[in-house]
Chain A
Amino acid sequence: MANKEDKARSSCRSENIDRLSDLPDSIIHKILSLVDLRCSVQTSVLSKRWRFLWTSLTDLNFNGTCMDFTNFLTFNRFVSRVLSTREDSNLYKIQLYSTWSPHHSLLHMVIKYAVSHHIQNMVINYGHSTIRSFSLPPAFLTCQSLKTLQLSGFNFKALGFALPNLISLSLSHCSFTNPSDFDDPFASCLNLKNLSLRTCSFLSSKVLKISGLQLVNLEIVGLGYMNLAGLLYRIDIFAPKLISFIYKLSHVVDFSGLHLPSLNFAHVHVCTKQDTKKEVYLGLINMFKGLGNAQSVKLHSQTIEVLGSFPSLLEQEPSPFKRLKSVQVAPDNKPLAPPHVMTYLLGGTPLAETTYADYL
């Protein structure tokens, strides 16, 4: 290793000593996994020590959202060259972001590679493009190694997910077009703890069931925006271990089938049109019955408005909450919650604390 000695001698003299190159690969990999992958590949030119360092990266971040790629072809070529050049080792994480419209052949290649390299964490996000016509291959939807998955813009037809080791699933702008009336797409993810559905639509099912024996956190945001107007469908949730339920910027649907015995925290922000229809009010009352175990509740002023829209009906309604310790209402620039709403919320637990916040 005469070379190394030379280097050591020369660096003793120079002001700028290369201490980084002596570090274990794992430290350099950490840094490389935090920069754009193209930047990582380019480090192979830095010195002989760095020549093959990037090829053993297990965390691949393909970012086609920056203006760096002149067109989708250069991006696609880049992705396929990385996969064919890297060393044939298992993958910890792949992130595929792009603002170019998705190419099915590229998606197929990345997904096939990921599954065959025991991928644990995967993100596919093509910005606002939707990938409706692309069918995720069954090998991916049943992948044993996946622990976290984030997808955007996909369409799921007949099959749900059957990912036995999946812990966190996050879907945004996805649609479910199951031709049957009843859909329980997550029931086969037996270890799922965290589920987030953002602006997803369930187009044809009349009843969406979310079964999650291990589910702890559930977030539904923007439900109903992409639906046919006036279609009030039903969501049943069977989640005996669920602790936190966030329902934001969503329309009121039929929530008569909620089973949430361990619920601790609920956050409800429902959206309605100007004239609150009675069925929306009744839907919300039904939902609150299902949230009765919550100890801490955050309510948006709009939710309070819907609750208060039929005072004579609400006054006959028993308070749903049995263990409530705190209620937070936001934003606080709106008038305070009317007394009949507070009576409804706190009737069973008069000692619960009520606070107003700027935002939730």
Chain B
Amino acid sequence: MSSSTDSPTLTTETTQLSPQPDTETAKPTKKITLKSSDNQIFEVEESVAMEFATVKSFFEDSPSTDTVPLPNVTAKPLSQVIEFCKEQIKFKANPDEAQKKKYNAEFVTEKSDKDLVDMIPVANYLEIKDLLDVLNQAVADRIENKSVEYVRSFFGIDNDFTAEEEAALRREHAWAYEGVDED
């Protein structure tokens, strides 16, 4: 509301032909372009893009643009997040809790560990709460009762402790280690 539509932005040239608000409603499927940090272009329907709170507020601030740069997001997790949101839109139009649950479960089951973990920062950055909840639970399920080494490689964490420091820490927390699966 507050921001002026005539303030020049980087994408002004491409948005000169942006439709007037009233013609916009007449157009059933307005496309919005998302640009990942590795310069891939994603064309998504406006309704899908509006699922991303971050993109939504970007548009509220500068309504004349139609390319949204996402400097923190790479192409692969972004495409998966878009896939998820497209389905959620369908459930919004046609609520079916059982089907939604089933879809969400399948969505995470078929993803690799790395894909899941990579989507979390994206869901967080784009503020997609439903997806974040689904991912958090899926990740929690996969690391439940696993060894420290497993969890470290699962998340891709660099161990910056020295061997002595780590041993001391384990001794200090000995009360938290007993009977853990080493797989």
Contact = CB atoms under 8 A, between A and B. Distances in A.
Contacts of A50: 157
Chain B CB count within 10 A is highest, among A3, A36, A39, for A39
B155 A7 contact: no
A69 interface: yes
A27 interface: yes
Chain A interface extent, by class: 35 or more
B121 A46 contact: no
A20 B180 CA distance: 23
Contact of A78 (B141, B169, B175): B175
B41 to A, nearest CB: 22
A35 B161 contact: no
A34 B158 contact: no
B136 A31 contact: yes
Nearest to A27: B124
Nearest to B155: A20
Contacts, number: 112
B117 to A, nearest CB: 6
Contacts of A17: 156
Contacts of A16: 114, 153, 156
B101 interface: no
A24 B121 CA distance: 10
Contacts of A81: 175-176
B136 A19 contact: no
A310 to B, nearest CB: 41
B155 A21 contact: yes
Main secondary structure of the interface of A (DSSP, over half): helix
A21 B154 CA distance: 12
Contacts of A38: 176, 180
A18 B158 contact: yes
A7 B160 contact: yes
B158 A10 contact: yes
A19 B146 CA distance: 20
B151 A44 contact: no
Given A19-B117, A27-B120, A68 B175 contact: no
B140 A20 contact: no
Contacts of B145: 36, 39, 66, 68
B178 A20 contact: no
Interface string B4-21: 000000000000000000
Interface string B136-150: 110111011110100
A35 B141 CA distance: 7
A23 B121 contact: yes
A67 to B, nearest CB: 7
A333 interface: no
B152 interface: yes
A45 interface: yes
Nearest to A11: B158
Contacts of B160: 3, 7, 47-49
B136 A7 contact: no
Contacts of B157: 18, 20-21, 46-47, 49-50
B165 to A, nearest CB: 9
Contacts of B151: 39, 42-43, 46
14 contacts: A14-B156, A21-B155, A22-B121, A23-B124, A27-B120, A35-B143, A36-B145, A38-B176, A39-B144, A42-B148, A44-B173, A67-B179, A68-B180, A81-B175
Given A16-B153, A31-B136, 12 more contacts: A10-B158, A18-B156, A24-B124, A30-B136, A36-B144, A42-B177, A47-B157, A47-B159, A47-B161, A48-B160, A67-B179, A81-B175
Interface of B: 114, 117-118, 120-121, 124, 132, 136-137, 139-141, 143-146, 148, 151-153, 155-161, 166, 169-170, 173, 175-180
Lowest 6 A-B CB distances belong to which pairs? A34-B140, A16-B156, A41-B176, A18-B156, A81-B175, A35-B140
